[in-house]
Structure 1
Amino acid sequence: MTATADAPTPVTTTTSSHRPAWVTDRRLASWNRWVACPVSGGAKTLTAIAPYDEMPTAPVPACTPDDVVAAAEAARRAQADWAALTHGARAEVILRFHDLLVERQDEIMDLIQWEMGKARFHAWQEVLQVANLARHYAVHGAKYLADRKVRAAIPVATKAREVRKPKGVVGIISPWNYPLYLGVGDAIPALLAGNAVVGKADPQTPLTLLWTRALLAEAGLPEHVWQVVTGPGAAIGEAVVDNVDYISFTGSTATGRLVAQHAARRLIGASLELGGKNPLVVRADADLQQAARGTVMAAFANTGQMCIHIERVIVHTDVYDAFKEALLAATSGQKLGQAFDFSYDIGSLASRAQLEKVSAHVDDAVAKGATVLAGGKARPDLGPLCYAPTVLEGVTDEMDLCLGETFGPVIALYRASDDEDALRVANQGRAGLSASVFSKDLDAADAFARRIRAGSVNINDGAALAAGSIEAGMGGVAESGSGRRHGGEGIRKYTDSQTVAASRIGPVGPLPGQTLEKFVAMGNGQLKLLRRLKVR
């Protein structure tokens, strides 16, 4: 996925024919200055491969573990002054960033497409989500973090409240599939809560994060409050976890386990959004055209490289054939290709490794008896890493594609005899990230949704509805992770709760000269009175 050189490589060596014309050597140099490599000085570089032509993009400095240590120390020194600002002052920076992001969105969409290969509409969705999160937490963050009065030990004579204090330095390890949304969307609430951030850019998409860091500097974010480090997780991921006070990780379940174990050894908190094998259930009473459209949108968005995308479609037997016909029609209407405009619905896969994994899953399923209803093959005529949107049926448990996360534009159809059978299939395996139910009976769908093992369930939508409801938490259960982004938990997780209790009468306990027996008797009397009054 990346190439590493022993010495700095001039940015003029980039050879990708899809490099946007506005991405000049001067712009690249201005972004690279935001890589925190104070120890190594950027002596080594890494260069990603552009999915549209499999040619190098542009080199960026590669950090060492010592660079990460120094970056975290600089962030810690800067954090105190940043935390001393009012929430309103921090919010002004984030709102200026919001405005700049919306104004210059064409630039960041170009970078996302160049580095990651997705269709432009899906790149725009990242802009939409980050802008919404920036505005939401800037406006409502103070409310989420406000002091909370609680009932004190002795009414009237004492008082107590819970206050929120920033963790200090938050580490964010974000993946390549949503480099803006996941790399920046998690940093915004951490910053607004008064923390400094050390963010590790994925080697496939570092320019996206560096462009955004430069934009935040223009909006007024102090230089060392958000440190960006670059490099493979195997090289610097452990150093990030070792030098922060809280870690937010998005990625595979296997790596998430390692992050959790390492965080646990340090006794720091961790938020983990991990893999999914997300089901979509079509009940017998569903609007089939609506369900087919929602399935296609949720399964093939971001070329299927989305943790919440749909991979399993479970259809009531009474409507299976009619739904299959509608689904195949909707799938055939998807335009696959590569362009820096809105002319295609589905873009490229991000890397040769992704293409090989998707192909291997489909080939294994076909070899073991699955039937290809649509797609099922790469499309090198459209782009070196393009893969046709694929629908399979007859997928069985022994196939790798059954419960293994494919992370590509591939869905498997399953027939269910009734709701209970559909629920059994939906809850198969150990993942539990996102799910969907299509039904005209919203009450029945709601009752069904509550029985699905998933952190989020969408009714009459494939995946975007819950993710876009940013006042509600988003995350997984079981092997799909722990913790939540978005909503109150999405910012409070970056803080510690501190209880502050005060007494107007001095220490709580027996009064001078009062025997312990008398004090205990008074306490027992209070217990009985409060019980009769149904207090607490």
Structure 2
Amino acid sequence: MPTPEGAVFDRLSALAAIAETRPTKTITETFTGARLGTVPVGTAEDVTAAAARARTAQAGWAERTPAERAAVLERFRALVVEHRDSLMDVIQAETGKARWAAQEEIMGLIFAARYFARVTPDLLRPRRVPGAFPVLNRTEVSHRPKGVVGVIAPWNYPMLLSIGDAIPALLAGNAAVVKPDSQTPFSALAAADLLYKAGLPRDLLAVVTGPGTVVGTAIVDICDYLMFTGSSATGRTLAEQCGRRLIGFSAELGGKNPMIVARGANLNKVAKAAVRACFSNAGQLCISIERLYVERSVAAEFTEKFLAAVRAAKLGAAYDYSTDIGSLISQSQLETVSKHVADATSKGAKVLAGGKARPDLGPLFFEPTVLSEVTDEMECGRNETFGPLVSIYPVDNVEEAIRLANDTEYGLNASVWAATKAEGERIAGQLHAGTVCVDEGYAPAWGSTAAPMGGMGISGVGRRHGADGLLKFTEPQTIVVTRFMNLDAPPLVSQQRWQRFLMTVTRSLRLLPGR
């Protein structure tokens, strides 16, 4: 199994927007624990300097037309396609995910660049809206960039959720300061490198590597808007910090996502797709499935088919498509999954598949695990595991499945499989989740970049993707031009008569379209 060359990581490390004298951190290959390279450890001063350079560069960037900015992102998209294999190598080396899951991340980056480059010129075009008084007022709404946008990214999709989230911010005319997770800095740096090659001004996008308590805190203290992906607990803390500064905040947070399998569904298809839905990136995905609600009349048959598909999935390390499930990312993730399984089994849950670490494959591998008889008293009952662990719950009917699926603080993603598409849509409309996939797990919802994506409850604030995913990085500005006369009473007309006339005009406006 060849490891990407160390020279690649040495070159990427030099792109970090940090003083050369800073200490360094060693980044290791997740599959083996071998050294990949080092990155400088940033400080608050590095963030301040990077943000100052970014703010200066942003003034000139905002003067470019949206179409000119979009052209840079189109070139970036083409470069991502051209260099996709080397980018997947970097993602796999840092995260340990399977090759197909790394490609899924690259596809998401391509989708985001393509969609936002295409729609930005129209979304940012100034628009006329009805004024207070027809003819007298001409009202126009435009969108101004926020300034410097901070992006604090996670380790599980380190390229897509760092530079991918910066893309709409940049297209809206902003600068961006990105803090990648300390475990996965090279993925963000590799994508940033292609943005620079596509023509993005170097100072406009800064990647500052370092601990969240230092670099992340400094970004929150200096940015004009914050985009965050991570846990609900950290999201609450960051929301409070943004609230004190009265700056905008958007976040995709945790999920305890359900799948409903109704009688009449094609169980062969469901079983195969559920393996991807539950164990993509070894379950380290905010929108992956952790709860399976299956109508009792088909529960035994589904469970048999699902377990067979799980056991057939190949767990291993490879920089090709020969494996289905990769590694966990860290010792702490391995410990969390192990503790959730041990806690559940000690309280009566049954292991139907998996349940063990696999040090024979690498230091951080854990078998895809399926549990039954899980209760709310168990750690994995209501809390997000964020690993290769899913629980099966037989239910009497669809109504019970819907009730149990909604019985959670989370509300990020859900999956529905039923006898017909119409029934699936009916069930989907009753679920408390920001996205729901009918006859799939999560990928079509994520890939629908023209539609907003985000969470309800403690699963998020705001949306990425769609028009909302770009316009949130702007400040709407309304300019109203009053023509012919202002609202003072004309000469020789009393105030009483004038105010009566204005009220008559106001009442008549209801007859006009759009009012």
* 1:521 positional shift: 1.1
Which residue does 2:4 correspond to in 1?
20
Tell me, in whole angstroms, the C-alpha distance in 2 between the residues paired with 1:201 and 1:533.
52
Which residue does 1:255 correspond to in 2?
234
Tell me, in whole angstroms, the C-alpha distance in 1 between the residues paired with 2:510 and 2:147.
42
Letter in 1 for 2:13: N
Tell me, in whole angstroms, the C-alpha distance in 1 between the residues paired with 2:91 and 2:354.
26
Which residue does 2:61 correspond to in 1?
82
Contact 1:42 1:63 in 2 (8 A): no
Which residue does 2:50 correspond to in 1?
71
Match among 313, 316, 324 for residue 345 of structure 1: 324
Greater Cα offset, 420-429 or 503-512: 503-512
Find out whether 1:270 has 2:249 as its counterpart.
yes
Letter in 1 for 2:201: P
Superimposed CA distance per residue, residues 63-87 of structure 1 (whole angstroms, 9 cap, x where no aligned partner): 0011111111110011000111111
**Residue 141 of structure 2 aligns to a residue in which SS?**
strand
* 1:535 positional shift: 6.6
CA RMSD of aligned residues (A): 1.4
Show structure 1 runs of 5+ residues with no match. 1-16
Contact 2:140 2:478 in 1 (8 A): yes
Which residue does 2:108 correspond to in 1?
129
Match among 364, 370, 380 for residue 359 of structure 2: 380
Match among 2, 18, 22 for residue 37 of structure 1: 18
Change (3 A) 1:527 1:534: farther
Which residue does 1:287 correspond to in 2?
266
Change (3 A) 1:222 1:533: closer
Contact 2:258 2:289 in 1 (8 A): yes
Tell me, in whole angstroms, the C-alpha distance in 2 between the residues paired with 1:216 and 1:535.
42
Which residue does 1:237 correspond to in 2?
216
Change (3 A) 1:220 1:527: closer
Greater Cα offset, 414-423 or 440-449: 440-449
Tell me, in whole angstroms, the C-alpha distance in 2 between the residues paired with 1:532 and 1:86.
38
Contact 2:13 2:40 in 1 (8 A): yes
**TM-score, normalised to structure 2's length?**
0.97
Superimposed CA distance per residue, residues 46-97 of structure 1 (whole angstroms, 9 cap, x where no aligned partner): 1233211123321101100111111111100110001111112111211111
* 1:244 positional shift: 0.5
Find out whether 1:219 has 2:219 as its counterpart.
no
**TM-score, normalised to structure 1's length?**
0.94
Match among 283, 298, 304 for residue 304 of structure 1: 283
**Residue 181 of structure 1 aligns to a residue in which SS?**
coil
Letter in 1 for 2:135: V
* 1:534 positional shift: 7.5
Tell me, in whole angstroms, the C-alpha distance in 2 between the residues paired with 1:230 and 1:298.
31
Match among 366, 385, 388 for residue 406 of structure 1: 385
Contact 1:18 1:53 in 2 (8 A): no
Contact 1:446 1:459 in 2 (8 A): yes
Find out whether 1:450 has 2:434 as its counterpart.
no
**Residue 208 of structure 2 aligns to a residue in which SS?**
strand
Contact 1:49 1:351 in 2 (8 A): no
Tell me, in whole angstroms, the C-alpha distance in 1 between the residues paired with 2:492 and 2:271.
79
* 1:513 positional shift: 3.6
**Residue 144 of structure 2 aligns to a residue in which SS?**
strand
Which residue does 2:349 correspond to in 1?
370
Superimposed CA distance per residue, residues 477-522 of structure 1 (whole angstroms, 9 cap, x where no aligned partner): 1100111111100100100100011122142332234221011111
Tell me, in whole angstroms, the C-alpha distance in 2 between the residues paired with 1:535 and 1:173.
41
* 1:143 positional shift: 1.4
Which residue does 2:156 correspond to in 1?
177
Contact 2:263 2:419 in 1 (8 A): no
Matches within 5 A, 1:463-502: 463-502=442-481
* 1:415 positional shift: 1.1
How high is the sequence identity, in percent, across the aligned residues? 46
Letter in 1 for 2:326: G
Contact 2:230 2:253 in 1 (8 A): yes
Which residue does 2:408 correspond to in 1?
429
Letter in 2 for 1:20: P
Tell me, in whole angstroms, the C-alpha distance in 1 between the residues paired with 2:508 and 2:219.
54
* 1:237 positional shift: 1.1
Tell me, in whole angstroms, the C-alpha distance in 1 between the residues paired with 2:349 and 2:305.
20
Matches within 5 A, 1:80-119: 80-119=59-98
Match among 335, 340, 343 for residue 356 of structure 1: 335
Letter in 2 for 1:76: R
Letter in 1 for 2:71: E
**Residue 502 of structure 1 aligns to a residue in which SS?**
strand
* 1:466 positional shift: 0.6
* 1:530 positional shift: 3.3
Contact 2:66 2:124 in 1 (8 A): no
Which residue does 2:296 correspond to in 1?
317
Contact 2:156 2:285 in 1 (8 A): yes
* 1:391 positional shift: 0.7
Greater Cα offset, 65-74 or 141-150: 141-150
**Residue 525 of structure 1 aligns to a residue in which SS?**
helix
Find out whether 1:60 has 2:39 as its counterpart.
yes
Superimposed CA distance per residue, residues 18-73 of structure 1 (whole angstroms, 9 cap, x where no aligned partner): 6413x41xx434322221124xx342111233211123321101100111111111
Letter in 1 for 2:16: V
